[in-house]
């Protein structure tokens, strides 16, 4: 059996279309499956639909988080509640074509543990988003050796890979990164990421920035080393400059250069603040891990036991 996990946050009418198309594809391919819909604290009627669907169809299970915990937490909740021999994580906004799932399952049956969908094209995103995404993925891949270029969250994990992933203890998980970090036999499929079926993306610039910082800090301490290196470079430069000034002073030159002083102060100040910021990010990270709060809280579940009657309407 395979489990399909989809995080749902204020998808409104879109989730109905999603479930329809998914059901058609999965049933059409003759797969035994369960669909785990995780409502990430939606404020619209998404949960009503999920709960109703779960009552009508015993292959559908709904999980409602107690508030909006973010997509990463919602995916994790779904993974922890999935019972299948393989789990497919897919967005509920129809940007990830469900038609690819049967091919993912085929690859899994051929022995792959992780089947990733990678972007062939990226539509429905502004130029800035596209360039930003690429730049981040490049930087991430370069710094961590975990390849994220063109990666998506749309992937299949076989049970062994899933168990490995769930053993990672960190709180601010970064699914795209961790599911690559674990290794295992991998396979990739190129897909076209389409436009959102409806509604709009919740990723504001701020949220994307947080995701990027989270992803980086949870995978590499390279920024910390960078701070050290730049600090060392500054120190070397300061020594040279000091020596030069000293030599000129001995030679009888009066020392001028007010603008230089201001400029150096600015550069140093900026770097100090940045360095503090970088350290702060890691400190915040540690703080979060040490508090050890649960990564999500479940408020409600909706599932119908196989063979039970439909509730009275």
Q: Between 203 and 222, how does the x/- string for binding to ligand UDP read (CB under 6 A)?
A: x-------------------
The answer to the question of residue 71 lying near ligand UDP (CB under 6 A) is: yes
* 40 interface partner picked from Mg ion, ligand UDP, none, CB below 5 to 8 A per type: ligand UDP
Which one of 12, 17, 68, 298 is in contact with ligand UDP (CB under 6 A)?
68
Residue 93 Cβ, how far from ligand UDP at the closest point, in Å? 4
Residue 136 Cβ, how far from ligand UDP at the closest point, in Å? 12
Site for ligand UDP in 86-125 (CB under 6 A): 91-93, 95
* 244 interface partner picked from Mg ion, ligand UDP, none, CB below 5 to 8 A per type: none
Please state, in angstroms and rounded to a whole number, the distance separating the CA atoms of residues 261 and 256. Answer: 9
The residue ranges that bind Mg ion (CB under 5 A) are 91, 93, 95
Identity of the residue, 46 or 95, whose beta carbon is nearer to Mg ion in the bound complex:
95
Please state, in angstroms and rounded to a whole number, the distance separating the CA atoms of residues 178 and 116. Answer: 13
Residue 209 Cβ, how far from Mg ion at the closest point, in Å? 17
Please state, in angstroms and rounded to a whole number, the distance separating the CA atoms of residues 75 and 91. Answer: 10
Task: Using CB atoms within 10 Å of the CB of residue 304, give its burial: 0 to 12 exposed, 13 to 18 middle, 19+ buried.
Answer: middle
Site residues (vs ligand UDP, CB under 6 A): 7-9, 11, 40, 68, 70-71, 74, 91-93, 95, 196, 201-203
């Amino acid at each position: 059996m395979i489990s399909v996990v989809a995080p749902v946050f204020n998808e409104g009418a879109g989730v109905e279309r999603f479930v329809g198309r998914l059901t058609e594809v999965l049933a059409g391919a003759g797969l035994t499956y369960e669909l785990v819909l995780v409502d990430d604290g939606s404020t619209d009627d998404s949960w009503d639909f999920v709960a109703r669907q779960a009552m009508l169809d015993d292959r559908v299970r709904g999980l409602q988080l107690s508030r909006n915990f973010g997509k990463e937490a919602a995916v994790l909740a779904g993974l922890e509640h999935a019972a299948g021999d393989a789990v497919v994580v897919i967005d509920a906004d129809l940007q990830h074509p469900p038609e690819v799932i049967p091919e993912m399952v085929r690859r899994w049956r051929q022995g792959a543990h992780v089947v990733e969908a990678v972007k062939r094209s990226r539509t429905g995103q502004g130029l800035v988003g596209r360039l930003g995404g690429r730049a981040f993925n490049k930087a991430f891949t370069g710094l961590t050796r975990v390849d994220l270029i063109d990666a998506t969250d749309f992937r299949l994990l076989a049970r062994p890979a899933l168990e490995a992933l769930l053993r990672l203890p960190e709180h601010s998980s970064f699914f795209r990164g961790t599911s690559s970090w674990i290794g295992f036999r991998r396979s990739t499929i190129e897909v076209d990421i389409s436009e959102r079926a409806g509604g709009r993306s919740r990723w504001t610039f701020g949220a994307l920035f947080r995701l990027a910082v989270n992803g980086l800090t949870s995978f590499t301490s390279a920024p910390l080393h960078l701070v050290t290196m730049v600090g060392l470079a500054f120190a070397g430069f300061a020594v040279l400059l000091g020596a030069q000034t000293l030599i000129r002073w001995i030679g009888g030159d009066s020392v001028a250069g007010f603008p230089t002083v201001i400029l150096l102060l600015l550069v140093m100040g900026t770097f100090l603040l940045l360095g503090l910021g970088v350290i702060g990010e890691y400190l915040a990270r540690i703080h979060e891990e040490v508090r050890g709060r649960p990564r999500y809280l479940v408020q409600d579940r909706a599932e119908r036991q196989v063979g039970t009657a439909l509730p009275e309407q």
